[in-house]
Amino acid sequence: MSVAIVCASHTPLMYRGPASNETEQRVRTAFEQLGAFVKAFEPDYVIQFAPDHFNGFFYDLMPSFCVGAGAVSLGDWGGGTGPLDVPEQTALALVDHVRSEDFDVAVSYRMPVDHGFVQMWEAVLGDFKSVPILPIFVNAAAPPIPTYRRARQLGESVGRFATKSGKRVLFAASGGLSHDPPLPSIKDAPPEVRERLINGRHPSPEAKQAREKRVLEAAALAEAGKGPCKPLNPKWDEEIMEILRSGQIWRADALDTDHVRETAGRGANEVLAWVSAFAALGAGGKFTMEQEFYEAIPGWITGMAMMAASQVDTSH
């Protein structure tokens, strides 16, 4: 048995929003380094925690957590489409394990996933189909969302499952860090937006184009230091990365989801996925950081971060 982790921010604006050539190259290089780490680790499969952006999950039924026994990429923002290589029997065994530890997760045999899941693999490996992925959706966009404590506890349970499996398991997370995309709230949404948040499946090409246009316009304003998006918060980002690299993942329990949203933006609670993944790694014992990258990129509306770590071998 051996476990490791890779985490990366995602953004639909990656290489599309305003950023210098130098910034883009630094991001590409960091993803290439993550790819080398993943290939060297040679995982039997990946357990990935990631959010959605009202592309696959909606308010007609919004779980806190959902395990995919099968998954299909929606291909938003130009990503690839089609089924992920999900190890179905392993996913169902994982569900039984977390149920035995009092987690009532939802299950999907055809989980729709957006760029929140697949973009990092297209950046890291060139294709999300090149490695078996067991996806776990973490609701980070549609309040009420789970607490950081609960996300940590679920991650630890998943980590105990992986530790017992005898497999080489790579944990992964995607999202955040500070991140304030133009995402509407159902509390004050007009009727047509409210309906999209409740059941926005299968949008028309015109609706998708209008949504992308809004995001690209927000990116141009963010690059110019103007609203509507909150400015990035590199100080908060560093505090989060410090908690993760410390191995003291329980410190994230003190994070309040409403305060995170106010401090670091409407997408910042995607860090819930990172907390789950690092908690899973920590459940197997001590770990050592292997790679880190961070750059605040206003035109991509995200604090762009990457982290990789591997478990310390204590068998000798």
Q: Nearest Cα to 281, choosing from 49, 65, 106, 68?
A: 49
pLDDT of residue 316: 44
Q: Is 259 a catalytic residue?
A: no
Q: What are the structure tokens assigned to 163, written together?
A: 């530790």
Say what the pLDDT of residue 314 is: 56
Whether residue 202 lies in the annotated active site: no
Stated pTM of the model: 0.95
pLDDT-derived band at 224 (thresholds 50, 70, 90) equals confident
| Residue tagged active-site, from 10, 115, 202, 316 | 115
Residue 84: pLDDT above 60?
yes
Mind listing the pLDDT tens digit for each residue in 165-208? 999 999 999 998 999 988 888 998 999 999 999 999 988 888 88
pLDDT of amino acid 79: 87
Among the listed residues 10, 53, 97, 179, the single catalytic one is 179
245-286 pLDDT, tens digit per residue, is 999 999 999 999 999 999 999 999 999 999 999 999 998 889
How much is the pLDDT for 226? 86
